[in-house]
Amino acid sequence: MNKPEKVFADGFSFKRRENAPDFVVGNLSCKVEEACSFLKSHARNGWVNMNIMQSQGGNYYVEKDQFVPQPQGDKPEVKEEVKKEEVKKAEGKTELPF
């Protein structure tokens, strides 16, 4: 399976803060026009997932997460009659209230 081509997140910049307290990882800056354009063009169901990566040279960059979950396959359908029978057994009744 081929890896998808990297999509760098336009308008986003991350810098690690080495001298910051332990609870501060770094700074994320956004260039509003570029970031908004990137987000609008890559949104999926209202979301854009991104990863903060480190290059081999040690610099940080932000890229679009390309992960797409694979379908789990078709689940077998349960017949309506079987569902009603299971409800009857669970409730201990002979008739369904609906």
Q: Per mean pLDDT, which of 33-47, 59-73, 79-93 is the most reliable?
A: 33-47
* H-helix or E-strand spanning residue 53: strand 50-54
> 22: domain range?
12-64
- Per the structure, the count of domains in the chain is 1
Give residue-wise pLDDT tens across range 22-49: 999 999 999 999 999 999 999 999 999 9
Indicate whether this model's pTM tops 0.85: no
Please check whether residue 23 lies inside any domain of the structure: yes
Model confidence band, residue 98 (pLDDT cutoffs 50, 70, 90):
very low
Q: Check residue 96 and give its pLDDT.
A: 47
Please check whether residue 78 lies inside any domain of the structure: no
Please check whether residue 97 lies inside any domain of the structure: no
**b/e per residue, 32-44, with b = 16+ CB within 10 A?**
eeebeebbeebee
